Chains A and B, each alone.
Chain A
Amino acid sequence: MNFTIPEECSALIDALQKLLDQETAKAQPVDGSRSFFSHELDGALEESGFLDAASLDDLGPLAAAMVTQEISSKPIIVEAAYSSFLRALVLAEWPRPMAVLTGDYSQATRFLGVAKSVVFLGENEVRASRVEAEDTIPAETFFAYPMARLRDPAACLSRSESVADSAIVRRLLLLATACELSGVLKAALFCVTEHVKDRRQFGRPIGSFQAVQHRLAMCASTISSGEWLARRAAASGSMEHAVMAAGFLQECTNRILYDLHQFMGAMGLTLEHPLYRWSYRAKLLVSDLGGASRQLRDLATITWS
């Protein structure tokens, strides 16, 4: 039992942080848009190989987990989680960015409008198809991700190929969700923490009030739990750990987001403050793959079968 982060991972994350800082500084948000996908950063990440960490012998899925958590912590959106796990480990030949559809293939899904591949996850089968922008219709940007739906799902499905084992893909997608969600929530927490240190009411920083401190502290403990459940799931390769990590994070997200938005007050309801870039990603991630409802029931079934 050893929780020391391997040197290779630390070095990888240090290098990643430098790239993220450079590209984040250059990126400009689109006025009035909740979604801010950076093609430049997305391309830079692909070119630099950070998204391939899971497949490299000296790095592996734990490194991919930390890469995904780090990238997700930025207020600039790229397709990293699917590429870091699904593409790196089972779909290396497929172009990215990637989008994933489960259940109803006519629904809007994130990254589809910028994706080069779409993965269809059924209960017993996984298929993939190459896509271009003309295959998709942009959807309303309610969430902070670029969303789109397939113009003709049946046509896209008919030209798709069977690609991988559905259980393996499901596990990797759960990992992707858990890692992305833990990174998003942690960043949101620290963003709000900075605000409550500065924002003064009643003669002092609102972060000095015990009620605020305690609720943020509870968020911190919960998010730290999720972060490590996700890392353990990546390292172990176990389905039980993957459903546990995703389910735990999905179940706690709404409580955490409530507190974070409460402490931002009205400023957090504007698009001028970046909190929404994390909270409105988290609000979509809670429903991934059936949400906490599916994950926690599956967890119980797997553990006590």
Chain B
Amino acid sequence: MDFAWSERQRAFRSRVVDFLKSELPDDWSEIAQHGPGSRQQTEFSLHFCPKLAEAGLLVPHWPKEFGGDDASVWEHFILGEEMWATGEPRGPQYMNVNWIGPTIMRFGSEEQKQFHLPRAAQGRAIWCQGFSEPSAGSDLASLRTCAERDENNFVINGTKIWTSYAELADHCFLLARTSGKRKDGICIFLVPMDTPGITVRSIPSLVGEGDIHEVFFKDVTVPASAMLGGEGQAWSIITYSLGNERVGIPRYEFSRRTLDTLVARLKEEDRWNDEYIRYRAGQALSACEAARLLVYRVVDERSRGAPPSAESSLARFAVVTADHAVSNFGLEFLPDSFSNNDISMLKPHHERAIASGIASGAAEIQLGIIAQSYLELPRELRT
């Protein structure tokens, strides 16, 4: 057991940090205020991600045949830590590198791989995730968007909601039902967002620009070749994808660095001698480091090829706790900085933190998984 980074891992992190220092523009913190889904950050990503790709730092963990460098799971994670903690200059493209690309690699047809993977590996692809619906959030299996076969096409009708990045996305990773009820009969379609019949409505929110939309599909016709995997296979595919994504974003790192910044400001204001402030800072710090350790355990499992386990769910809850601890620390002791915006990344951190128990699936679902898989408690009766 070893809690230290290897020399190779430290060298990789230095490479990422150096790249960020040299390539992020002076006004990056202003761009980052808008959020990964904003027009500003999305457009920035279309310049930044190709440079990252050229430097071998966009998809280093992908197999070489798909533009990667077969880098380790740990290196992928180190990359994610530095990116997320800086405000995520990859914008919405972080989803491509984390799970959409790997999912297409594993389940896609040759045509899909040939079309989508190079674009993602070159930093030129913006995706949105068409999962949740007005009546199907945590209970995703009850989704109603349907895809009806019409010779060599499917015609899609339905509504998605809470869809991040939809307004600027090129493609939607869409769940739609071709038959059956619940998990059976759900399929995945890779849908170009400029297909006629798709309407996107932005929903103003607390969590940054471009993060929440409603997407309407009215008689949207896509070729049958747009289906990813087999008919009705969606549930097993997304279980694989989301199993890896549950701890995909290293939120604790952003929280930790934000906390460092808040403490620095409190010292400047000569308030660090307040015993209660120091106590709360220690509390928030220990929450961040607890989350880090549990996430690292999951990454360690993944690096050894073990399938996702309830450890991911234990980690997820710890991450949500850490995010809120840091955000609340800032709100309680430096409220004016939220109005002045005089601490860069404070508002973006807050926006990510308040979503951390909701985005990527409600934390309560994880608590249910912990209860059943880790504590082996009986399933709740469903009516």
- A residues with a Cβ closer than 8 A to B are 1-6, 9, 62, 189-190, 193, 196-197, 204-205, 207-210, 212-214, 216-218, 220-222, 224-226, 228-229, 231-232, 235-236, 244, 247-248, 251, 292-293, 295-301, 303-304
Contact = CB atoms under 8 A, between A and B. Distances in A.
A207 B304 CA distance: 33
A197 B377 contact: yes
B377 A208 contact: yes
Contacts of A225: 290-291, 293-294, 314, 318
Contacts of A297: 275, 278-279, 282
A225 B296 CA distance: 11
A295 B300 CA distance: 29
Interface of B: 1-6, 9, 74, 260, 263-264, 267, 272, 275, 278-283, 285-287, 289-291, 293-294, 296-297, 299-301, 304, 313-315, 317-318, 321, 364, 366-368, 370-372, 374-381
B304 A4 contact: yes
A214 B158 CA distance: 33
Given A213-B371, A217-B317, A1 B296 contact: yes
B290 A235 contact: no
A47 B321 CA distance: 43
A189 B283 CA distance: 22
A1 B3 contact: yes
Contacts of A236: 3
A5 B380 contact: no
A214 B279 contact: no
Nearest to A304: B263
Contacts of A295: 282
B293 A228 contact: yes
A193 B286 contact: no
Contacts of A4: 1, 300, 304
B16 to A, nearest CB: 16
Given A197-B377, A213-B375, A298-B282, 14 more contacts: A1-B300, A4-B304, A207-B371, A208-B378, A221-B370, A222-B321, A226-B290, A229-B293, A231-B1, A236-B3, A248-B287, A251-B283, A299-B285, A300-B282
8 contacts: A3-B300, A4-B304, A208-B381, A213-B372, A220-B375, A222-B290, A224-B294, A248-B286
**Smallest CB-CB A-B distances: 7 pairs:** A296-B282, A225-B290, A213-B371, A217-B370, A299-B282, A217-B367, A300-B278
Given A213-B367, A213-B380, A232-B293, A2 B282 contact: no
Contact of A3 (B260, B264, B297, B321): B297
Contacts of B375: 189-190, 193, 213, 216-217, 220
A296 B299 CA distance: 28
B283 A296 contact: yes
A5 B297 CA distance: 11
A150 to B, nearest CB: 31
Contacts of A303: 282, 285
Contacts of A217: 313, 317, 366-368, 370-371, 374-375
Contacts of A2: 1-2, 300
A221 B281 contact: no
B119 to A, nearest CB: 32
B303 to A, nearest CB: 9
A62 B2 CA distance: 10
Nearest to A297: B278
Contacts of B280: 296
Nearest to A5: B1
Contacts of B300: 1-4
A220 B372 CA distance: 12
A169 B313 CA distance: 36
Contacts of B315: 221
A196 B293 contact: no
Contacts of A62: 1
B367 A304 contact: no
Contacts of A6: 1
B71 to A, nearest CB: 14
Nearest to A249: B286
B367 A218 contact: yes
Nearest to B317: A221
A299 B301 CA distance: 29
Nearest to B300: A3
A84 to B, nearest CB: 17
A193 B378 CA distance: 10
Contact of A299 (B286, B294, B371, B377): B286
A303 B289 CA distance: 12
Nearest to B364: A214
A52 B278 CA distance: 36
A221 to B, nearest CB: 4
Given A220-B370, A236-B3, A297-B275, A228 B294 contact: yes
A302 to B, nearest CB: 9
A224 B286 CA distance: 13
Contacts of B304: 4
A212 B377 CA distance: 10
A214 to B, nearest CB: 4
Given A193-B377, A208-B379, A213 B3 contact: no
A300 B317 contact: no
A304 B289 contact: no
A124 B311 CA distance: 42
Nearest to B267: A304
Nearest to B2: A2
A229 B290 contact: yes
A70 to B, nearest CB: 16
A118 B297 CA distance: 38
Contacts of A248: 286-287, 290
B279 A293 contact: yes
Nearest to B297: A3
Nearest to A294: B279
A3 B377 contact: no
B6, B367, B377 pick with most chain A CB within 10 angstroms? B377
